[in-house]
Structure formats: C-alpha cells, structure tokens
Structure 1
C-alpha cells in the first residue's frame, strides 16, 4: 500500500460552520484510523489548513475518503491536494 499526504483548506468561518458536523467528522476519522487507512490528520494552529497522511491502494481511494467526510460535504473543507509520499525514515 502507498502512503499519501493531503493538504487542504478550511472555509473562512470554520469554527461556526463545523460545529453541527464535528462529531460525525470525528467518528468517521476514528473509523478510518481503526481500519488502518488514516495515519494522522489535524489542522494548522491558525485553522486555515489541514494536513493528513493516509495509507491506501490509490490516490482515488484517498479522494473517496476525503469527499465522504462531512467537512467536505458541508463545505468546511474547501479544497485539497493529494500527493503520493515516499517515507524516507
């Protein structure tokens, strides 16, 4: 399985907009972690961006995970890029 780095951007009013969807978002991330696809994820301190590392068969598999997330579906995440990553250490 390959590893992928994801960089994404949050909407301007993230704190207000994420509130009704946050628990569903966190529950979904916990399932991804338990299934072994999500290595780590989190926001930057200024809440402008998020960073994640996934283990998956393909970039498309990562895209499906991102786009199934309530934060994507409710436009809390506004865009993202996926890059296959080679872990050196």
Structure 2
C-alpha cells in the first residue's frame, strides 16, 4: 500500500526540520566549544592597581623590567627589609595579585 501524498509531505517536512535543527545544534555546539577553548587559551588581561598593597600599607614602586628579547614587563618593587631580593613571576594567564 502506497502512503498518501499528504502524509508523505508531512513526513518529509518533519524529517527536514529535524535535520535542520540538528545542524543548528551542531553548529552552536562547535561554536561554543571554540569560544570556550579560545577563552581558556587566551584569558582576558587584568590591570592590577596596587589597591591591596596600599590597603595593607606596604610601600611599593611601579617599575618596568626589560627582557633580553626587548619585552617590557610591568612589575612592583617593594624594598626588602633584610637586603635580599626575590623576583616572583606569575604563571601563564595570571596577574599580579590584588
């Protein structure tokens, strides 16, 4: 028995709509995954203001460190009490603490 043309039309239309919806969800999934990965690999930059140091009355100076390859890094210098100096560098994607 052959299906009725009207039933076949609605079946085909439903299949096309389901397929289109699946494609939209797949595209959104891929786009969202890519955006998440980019945000993870390239985190937003934060500018530290030194508010935490001022709040705790720690004297500091804003300085710039120039690397051997010419990169300029912003840093804070707090004078040591015993004459020794420690350089602390944050990890990838990190920032000076606040």
Q: Provide the TM-score with structure 2 as the length reference.
A: 0.28
Larger relative contact order, structure 1 or 2 (CA cutoff 8 Å, min sep 6): 1
- Looking at secondary structure, tell me which structure has more strand per residue: 1
